[in-house]
């Protein structure tokens, strides 16, 4: 067997060890299920086996389902086949429960998703007492629900309220909380786990689950007119709306599965769970989330864009030039990754202020129990605050994070290159200034690259790596190695105005400003953006940026490109607000919002005087405009070669500026709509609102040829219907 090892002792105890020979983690796949069915049948019919211990040879018990298979299932299988797959795995676990022999699971490390479902089917669960041991059902985070009995066993073991909390949040439980909720039965040391399991089996326990006892009732408690736990469902429904909005169907499907399943006998409840699982697996939302947030993200972090043939490098010391918010954040994450940091600014007090940013961040982590004081002291000791460029002499990499001004950056580059090692890489943390233009100040432009972090650096995972016209493959490789050391997610783009993330992000905020100029009520604008899944509305984002920044970018583009430049639709609104109304954003005392003394904010009541509201807007039209303007600009970036891969496009949009995760990203969103349907809607929007919505030639060609950006063949192996037949079928 490729996934299991079985040994049988003279004491009547068999040990089944999960040990996937083809991967570092145990996962649920069709091959695994087939082997488990065979093993369960063999152990059940072997008269010499009196009980079974289920354990793992890996560092984790089991990580869950094979995500590549789940992504491929959307395009390759019907919803009926999705249902049958869920029923097949459920049938495997029911075979454990009804084997007539007691099974005990030893959980050492993570037991997540299908891994926990497997353990829940056992008659006893023993957890090893170590920090890495945790359990959970995180399927909601990938747009799914547990499809092998997890919802039904959990609600019957822990109760409806606890089950809804865990299923809707997807959070992990440590051993103590899991035991308190009866998700596990016992916590022991690693040395005691096996003997504890055998001791329990020696008591000849009754291997019948409570829901299989003759005459067992459904767990739903009835009140006079409504279920006794109706309040739990009502609270959960409100939580679903708050967390997931109305674009992600997984949370509401979980709520329905628990509610319906709690009123049914166990096997009927499993069928209900499989029905909702099939609906979700057949939805593009789950496909989009898994593909971008797991498969593409993991590939990027493993070096999908790293040039081949370049030896791996490791940064021992990094110089960070500029100790403002960005520089201080870069210094912190670098020191946290074990890298020595030289944090340099115009004077030592300013540099030290940046160093103390790390201390403030870590103090919060200490208070929350996520970091020890000793670890914090060690991290802070790695950061040296200075104003002396000579201290950069031993740095392997320089990250410049000074003010967004060509002259200031050029002067900083020259000073750093005068002392930094010949083979060191110089990276500029710029969000808009062309890298090739910045590299003109360098004597070694082949070693010059853009390394664009996002704020706040310690919480934002994306790093946009920008290739200048002369940047070498070796420099790109070193930059990606640095990003990998930090544990962040890189995308690679080519040089242009605004690169990718800043360029496309500005289309969203300008669209919001344009809507205000058209007479759409500001609250409607903000809520329309949030309704499609954007984290915040465009007007509050513009206030935080200040109007000077987007207008300066536009003015510079007009100066350099003239009539070729398509001026964003919201510029007129921003100019009017700043120059005529006298409100330029939060830093200027207020913009679209007023900022109150208690830290709260509210939309400025004077907006209606300057932008009279009309009632001819349509909410669906507004929502489409937000999504389409960003997706269309992304296609332009692909067409122009700014972007080279669809995966970078999706990762950058989701993790760079918060394009809705349910879409999978700007390019996955187009595929979800379909290129032909997307083209038709884009043309409609262009007729109504202007040429910024006109589909680029690349999109028109793809629509004409009925092509998608992600071909179905990319999703993984073909799964045939016969391999999905329910257990026991012919």
**Active site amino acids:** 117, 139
Sheet holding 134-136, edge to edge: 110-112, 134-136, 172-174
d(CA 340, CA 318): 6
d(CA 427, CA 398): 6
d(CA 183, CA 171): 14
Q: Is the bond leading into 456 cis (omega within 30 degrees of zero)?
A: yes
Helix 114-121 with 79-97: angle, nearest 10 deg? 40
Angle at 385 between CA 380 and CA 389, to 5 degrees: 140
How many CB atoms neighbour CB 177 within 10 A? 16
- Partnered with residue 462 across adjacent β-strands are 489
Q: Which two tokens stand for residue 407?
A: 């002259």
52-67 core/surface letters (b: 16 or more CB in 10 A; e: else):
bbbbbebebbbbbbbb
Name the DSSP letter for residue 624: H
d(CA 250, CA 695): 32
Q: How far is CA 597 from CA 313, 544, 594, 601, 602, in A?
A: 50, 17, 10, 9, 12
Q: SS3 of 134, please? A: strand
Q: Which two tokens stand for residue 86?
A: 């869920």
Name the DSSP letter for residue 726: P
d(CA 466, CA 490): 10
Q: Which of 441, 400, 404, 398 is nearest to 422 (CA)?
A: 398
Q: Which of 569, 361, 589 is nearest to 457 (CA)?
A: 361
In residues, how long is the chain?
730
């Amino acid at each position: 067997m490729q996934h299991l090892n079985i040994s049988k002792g003279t004491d009547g105890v068999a040990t089944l060890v999960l040990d996937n020979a083809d991967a570092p983690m145990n996962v649920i796949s069709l091959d695994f299920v087939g082997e488990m069915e065979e093993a369960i049948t063999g152990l059940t019919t072997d008269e010499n086996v009196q009980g079974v211990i289920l354990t793992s040879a890996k560092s984790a018990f089991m990580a869950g389902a094979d995500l590549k298979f789940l992504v491929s299932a959307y395009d390759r299988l019907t919803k009926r086949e999705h249902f049958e797959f869920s029923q097949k795995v459920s049938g495997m676990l029911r075979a454990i429960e009804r084997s007539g022999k007691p099974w005990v699971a030893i959980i050492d490390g993570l037991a997540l998703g299908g891994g926990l479902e497997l353990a829940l089917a056992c008659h006893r669960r023993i957890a090893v007492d170590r920090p890495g041991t945790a359990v959970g059902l995180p399927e909601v985070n990938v747009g799914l629900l547990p499809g092998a009995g997890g919802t039904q066993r959990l609600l019957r073991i822990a109760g409806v309220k606890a089950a809804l909390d865990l299923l809707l949040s997807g959070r992990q439980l440590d051993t103590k909380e899991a035991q308190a909720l009866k998700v596990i039965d016992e916590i022991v040391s690693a040395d005691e786990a096996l003997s504890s399991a055998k001791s329990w089996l020696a008591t000849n326990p009754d291997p019948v689950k409570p829901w299989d006892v003759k005459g067992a009732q459904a767990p739903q408690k009835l009140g006079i007119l409504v279920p006794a736990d109706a309040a739990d469902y009502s609270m959960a429904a409100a939580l679903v709306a708050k967390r997931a909005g109305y674009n992600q169907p997984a949370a509401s499907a979980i709520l329905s599965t628990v509610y319906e399943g709690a009123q049914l006998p166990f096997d009927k409840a499993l069928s209900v769970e499989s029905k909702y699982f099939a609906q979700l697996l057949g939805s593009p939302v789950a496909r989009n989330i898994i593909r971008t947030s797991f498969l593409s993200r993991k590939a990027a972090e493993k070096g999908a864009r790293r040039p081949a043939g370049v030896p791996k490098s490791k940064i021992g010391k990094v110089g960070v030039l500029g100790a403002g918010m960005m520089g201080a954040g870069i210094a912190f994450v670098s020191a946290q990754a074990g890298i020595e940091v030289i944090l340099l600014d115009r004077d030592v007090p300013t540099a030290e202020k940046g160093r103390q940013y790390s201390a403030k961040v870590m103090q919060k982590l200490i208070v929350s129990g996520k970091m020890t004081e000793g670890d914090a002291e060690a991290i802070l000791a790695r950061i040296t605050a200075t104003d002396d460029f000579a201290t950069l002499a031993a740095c392997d990499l320089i990250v410049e994070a000074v003010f967004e001004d060509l002259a200031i950056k050029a002067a900083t580059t020259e000073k750093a290159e005068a002392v930094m090692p010949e083979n060191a890489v110089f990276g500029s943390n710029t969000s808009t200034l062309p890298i090739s233009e910045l590299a003109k100040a360098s004597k070694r432009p082949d070693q010059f690259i853009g390394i664009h972090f996002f704020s706040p650096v310690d919480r934002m995972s994306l790093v946009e790596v920008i290739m200048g016209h002369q940047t070498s493959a070796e420099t790109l490789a070193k930059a990606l190695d640095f990003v990998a050391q930090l544990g962040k997610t890189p995308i690679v783009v080519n040089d242009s105005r605004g690169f990718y993330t800043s360029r496309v992000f500005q289309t969203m905020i300008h669209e919001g400003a344009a809507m205000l100029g058209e007479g759409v009520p500001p609250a409607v604008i903000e809520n329309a953006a949030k309704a499609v899944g954007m984290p915040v509305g465009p007007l509050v984002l513009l206030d935080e940026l200040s109007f000077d920044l987007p207008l300066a970018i536009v003015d510079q583009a007009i100066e350099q490109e003239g009539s070729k430049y398509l001026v964003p639709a919201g510029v007129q609104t921003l100019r009017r607000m700043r120059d005529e109304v006298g409100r330029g954003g939060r830093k200027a005392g207020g913009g679209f919002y007023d900022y109150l003394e208690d830290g709260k904010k509210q939309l400025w009541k004077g907006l209606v005087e300057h932008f009279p509201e009309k009632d001819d807007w349509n909410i669906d039209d507004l929502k489409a405009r937000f999504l389409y303007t960003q997706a269309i600009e992304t296609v332009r970036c692909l067409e122009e070669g700014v972007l080279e891969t669809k995966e970078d496009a999706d990762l950058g949009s989701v993790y760079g500026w918060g394009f809705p995760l349910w879409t999978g990203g700007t390019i996955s969103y187009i595929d979800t709509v379909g290129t032909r349907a997307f083209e038709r809607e884009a043309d409609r929007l262009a007729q109504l609102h202007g040429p910024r919505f006109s589909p680029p030639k690349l999109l028109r060609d793809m629509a004409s040829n009925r092509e998608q950006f992600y071909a179905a063949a990319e999703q993984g192996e073909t799964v045939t219907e016969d391999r999905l037949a329910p257990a026991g079928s012919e």
